[in-house]
Structure 1
Amino acid sequence: MLLLLLAAGLRAQDTLRISLHQADSLLVARNLSLIASQYEVDKAEARIIQQKLFSNPELYTEWNLYNPTQKQWLDAGAQGQKIIQLQQVFRIAGQRKTSIRIVQEEKQMTQWQYYTLARNLRYELHSRYYRVFFLNHAIRGIRSQLALLKNLIEVYTAQYQKGNISLQELTRLNSVYFGINDQVNDTQADLLRLQETLQILLADNRIIWPAPAAGENTFPKTDSLLVLSALQDKALVNRPEIKTAESYQAQRELQYSLEKRQRVPNLMAGAVYDQAGSYVNNYTGVSAGLQIPLFNRNQGRIREARLDIGQAKINLQSQQQEIVREVETAWNIVKLLRTQYESTGSEFEDLLGQLSRGLVSNYSKGNISLLEFTDLFEAYNSGIIRYNQLKADLNNAYEELDYAVGEDVLR
């Protein structure tokens, strides 16, 4: 008894039953791609810290190596010679402030890229979660019917051995069983691949089974859809890809401003001490210097930065057009699958259940023929898989529309 309880506990530990809300939380906390992307945000913050730092002062010193008059090496004492110079570079045209704004905008873009990745992974998680839920629901229903058919075949095998039924009838039953079992195995293989994706997304080695919490809607029900143009307008505001493109354009504009400011050379200022090499001993003075912008006024980089602005604007327009088309396509797919689902009827699964109940019993009692039984049995099992696949496809279409708009519009 203890061994059985231990084995049951181990099996329970190998399975993770999780609601969609819990899965979303685990995705943020565990997904390795998101964790790696968060490092990019932290690195961008580090670049801001670095850009805010002032340039280090430069120290220059020169010491007498050999005094031929005194015939003394390293004569840098009270009667010797040494020079000490300290210089600092100052950016006087606002380059430092503009550079800081650029890396701040880069961090903002990195955050939007993180949100984009999170949305992509969330969409993939939801799509796989609901498909596992519906396909597993279909398999459970079919396996119960296959168990009944298996028992019937065992009974008929015994009757065939006694000569009470024909080989044709027994073979037909076995063919139906193997055909439906192959269909179930194909669906089970799809489930295994879906399980692999869920395990990777949530960084968990256990088998993950959807267990919707109370109040979680596993199948969105909506009487009417929102207006397409309104959804497209929302997408142009909500989508992080738009924010990323806008941030990139802002960076190009700031870079253009910086390149124009770079035409003004940096100022170098400092102080110098010369012990015995100047017109007076112990000479002290101040120094200042800058490059004369005679030939190089940063013309090439300014032009390149201006072209980058035009390119960024075109990329933003392209991104906007792509998102508008994505919303329209997702909208049309939802309408198509919704129409197919409504034409099938929400009671279709209940009707299939009514069909299956007593099917084996009626056949064993001779109330229906072998042909009717096999046709109805195959119709039930094929119908239950296709119907749940349709619900999974429609659910995925809802998720795709939410993804395209950038917010949950149907849940």
Structure 2
Amino acid sequence: MKKRSLYPLLLIFCAYLNGLQAQTQDTLVLDLEQAENLLLKNNLPLLAERLSIDQAAAEVIQAKVWPNPTLTVDEMNLWATAYQQRTGEAQPSLFGSDSFGNYRQVSAQLEQVIETAGKRKKRVALAKVEQEKAQAYLEDFLLSLKTEFRKSIYAFRFHEGYVLMLERQLISLESIVKAYQKQYDEGNVNKAELIRLQASLLGIKDDLIEERKILNEKNEELVVMLNLTESTQLSFQPNFQLKETYQLPFQYTLNYLQQEALKNRPDVALSALQITQTQNELSYEKAQAVPDVAVSLGYDRGGNILRDFIGVGFSIDLPFFDRNKGNIKKAEFAVEQQNYLNQHKLLEVREEVRKNYQNVLQAAAFFDSIDADYLTGLDKTMDAYTEYFKLQNINIITYMDFLESYIDTKRSILENQQEYFDDLEELKYSTGLELKTPN
């Protein structure tokens, strides 16, 4: 009975272990378009930033409202002394009573402030500029996020591709070392050759450890950006097509890209909105020099020569001392300051586009100088050298030299591949254009 009772527990435990294994081995393979769709849907900072648009819209609604009227109740006595009753003037009773309220006094006033010089309209204009700025901030945030995300993917792909290459060479070299160890035990090869092979094997293992650590860091970074479950292992496998992929993916001139940057970049739009905002603030400060008018409607039960007196009135500040000159002057300086900053921003953007345009051309030139057949045959040549070495058609020096050259060449190509993609993303970011991106 005890053995039978343990059997369901054993099944549950095995299922749990299988679940853990499946969880740790969960791999999500994505291309760039699929990854970006997930980013736009799941990225938490982006979702939070989008709420800024709603907040700015709420501020516009708030700016449109009128100030609340003010109700003042004054001169109300809760009781009357005997002396007051003897010396005071009796009032009509209240609430149908014969005596209640005969000696009760109260006054009330309802006041409404009326803003002059279009202050409310100018506040709404300021709030609408803030709403436009919030939209521009969101666009700038999204552009920066997508650029950072793509560059993270390219870095991931570089380390992933380099790890795969090292793993292939590790498997091949392990078989060679194993065979050499057997030959050494039989006295057919010298120890120096075996040691050199073993040293090379240890070097590849060490590189693999470091590359896998970096790959894990990049995986963690992308998982957080995509808001995926913590056990997710990502994979972005590149298709390496030299001539088709690494030629310049657009035919735009530098001047055209600079002009497009000035039209499309969110930070340029923000700079222009800053000018509009300072101009609106100047207009509002000038309006503040015009005093507002407060109109009132008052009632007095018995404190006037007329019983149950109802009167109207108004109040207005007299601008003898404070005409808001300091704030107006400050706003004028802010407009002038923002004009200088905007000119600097435009120059900065044009030069940034120029720099990134030249970087892309230089990165593309690296691949233009490489024969596609050379890269296609590089892996085959490495496999052939490995077979020649196994068959002892070439010596260890020739084989090791080519192996080291092969690894260096592959790393250089992968690094330049990543650099090209990064430069292209920087150019896209600096122009605000969605240029064609290689997959």
Q: Using structure 1 for the length normalisation, give the TM-score.
A: 0.92
Task: Name which of structure 1's ranges 260-269 and 135-144 shifts more when overlaid on structure 2.
Answer: 135-144
**Residues 392 and 228 of structure 1, relative CA distance in 2, 3 Å threshold:** same
Q: Residue 203 of structure 1: CA displacement?
A: 2.0
Between the aligned partners of 2:56 and 2:341, the Cα distance in structure 1 is 23
Check whether the contact 2:268–2:346 (CA below 8 A) recurs between aligned residues. Answer: yes
Give the aligned CA root-mean-square deviation in angstroms.
Answer: 2.5
Residue 64 in structure 1 maps to residue 88 in structure 2: no
Which residue type is aligned with residue 150 of structure 2?
Answer: H
Please point out which of 304, 312, 327 is paired with 1:278.
304
CA offset at residue 224 of structure 1? 6.3
Q: Which deviates more, 27-36 or 357-366?
A: 27-36
What are the equivalent positions in structure 2 for 1:198-209 lying under 5 Å apart?
198-204=222-228, 205=230, 206-209=232-235
Q: Secondary structure at the match of 1:69?
A: helix
**How far is the alpha carbon of 1:7 from its aligned partner?**
6.1
- When residues 357 and 227 of structure 1 are mapped into structure 2, their CA distance, relative to the original with a 3 A threshold, is same
Q: Matches of 1:210 and 1:367 in 2, distance apart?
A: 38
- CA shift for structure 1 position 358: 2.1
Match of 1:299 among 312, 318, 325: 325
Check 1:328–1:11 CA distance in 2 against 1; reply closer, same or farther (3 A cut): same
In structure 1, what is the equivalent of residue 51 of structure 2?
A: 39
Cα distance change on mapping 1:398 and 1:348 into 2, 3 Å: farther
Match in the other structure for 2:6 = none
How far apart in 2 are the matches of 1:7 and 1:85? 75
1:155 equivalent in structure 2: 179
User: Which stretch shifts more, 76-85 or 199-208?
Assistant: 76-85
AA of the residue aligned to 2:410: I
Is the 1:18–1:210 Cα contact (8 Å) retained in structure 2? yes
Q: Amino acid of the residue matched to residue 95 of structure 1?
A: K
Give the match's secondary structure for 1:344: coil
Q: Report how far residue 257 of structure 1 moved.
A: 0.6
Equivalent in the alignment of 2:23: 10
Indicate the larger mover: 76-85 or 322-331.
76-85
Q: Equivalent residues in 2 for 1:32-181 (5 A)?
A: 32-62=44-74, 63-67=76-80, 68-70=83-85, 77-181=101-205
Q: Which residue of 2 aligns with 1:340?
A: 366
| Cα drift, residue 61 of structure 1 | 0.9
Give the conservation status (yes or no) of the 8 Å contact 1:220–1:395. no
Q: Contact conserved, 1:222 with 1:410, CA < 8 A, in 2? A: no
The answer as to whether partners of 1:355 and 1:380 remain within 8 angstroms in 2 is: no
Measured after TM superposition, the shift of residue 225 of structure 1 is 4.4
Provide, for residues 374-406 of structure 1, a one-character-per-residue CA deviation record: whole Å limited to 9, x for no partner.
001111122112211111111111111111111
2: CA distance between counterparts of 1:345 and 1:36?
48
Counterpart AA for 1:378: E
Per-residue deviation, residues 49-107 of structure 1 (Å, max 9, x unmatched): 211111111001120245342179xx982543110110000112100011011011101
Q: CA 1:348–1:191 in structure 2 vs 1: closer, same or farther (change >3 Å)?
A: farther
Query: Hey, what does 1:359 align to over in structure 2?
Result: 385
The match for 1:312 among 338, 341, 344 is 338
Q: Is the 8 A contact 1:40 1:110 kept in 2?
A: yes
- Counterpart amino acid of residue 255 in structure 2: S
Using the aligned pairs only, state the percent identity: 26
For residues 248-270 of structure 1, the C-alpha deviation after alignment (integer angstroms, 9 at most, x for no partner) is 11111011111111111111001
| 1:8 to partner: Cα distance | 6.1
Inter-CA distance 7–271: structure 2 relative to 1 (3 Å threshold): closer
Inter-partner Cα distance in structure 2 for 1:185 and 1:8: 22
1:6 Cα deviation from its structure 2 partner: 5.0
What is the aligned partner in structure 2 of residue 29 from structure 1?
A: 41
Q: Deviations over 1:28-47 (max 9, x none)?
A: 22222222222322222221
Q: How many residues align?
A: 405
Residue of structure 1 equivalent to 2:97: none
Matching residue of 2:98: none
What is the CA–CA distance in structure 2 between the aligned matches of 1:396 and 1:389, rounded to whole Å? 10
- Of 28-37 and 166-175, deviating more is 28-37
Q: CA deviation at 1:227?
A: 1.2
Is 2:402 the counterpart of 1:376?
yes
In the superposition, relative to structure 1, how do residues 221 and 342 fare at CA in structure 2: closer, same or farther (>3 Å)?
closer
For 2:125 and 2:181, the matched residues in 1 are separated by 82
Residue 238 of structure 1 corresponds to: 264
Of 48-57 and 183-192, deviating more is 183-192
> Which stretch shows the higher mean deviation, 141-150 or 342-351?
342-351
Residues 121, 201 of structure 1: 8 Å contact kept: no
Q: Secondary structure at the match of 2:326?
A: helix
The question of whether the paired residues in 2 share the 8 Å contact of 1:180 and 1:381 is answered with no
Q: 1:254 and 1:378 mapped to 2: Cα distance?
A: 66
Contact 2:285 2:327 in 1 (8 A): yes
Q: Distance in 2 between matches of 1:99 and 1:137?
A: 56
Q: Which moved more, 1:398-407 or 1:314-323?
A: 314-323
Aligned-partner residue type, residue 84 of structure 2: T
CA shift, 1:245, in A, is 1.1
1:20 and 1:212 in contact (8 A); partners too:
no
1:348 & 1:102 partners in 2: Cα distance?
62
Larger radius of gyration: 2
CA distance in 1, matches of 2:411, 2:112: 76
Contact 2:85 2:103 in 1 (8 A): no
Task: From the superposition, tell whether residues 5 and 193 of structure 1 become closer, same or farther in structure 2 (CA, over 3 Å).
Answer: closer
Q: Match of 1:330, SS? A: helix
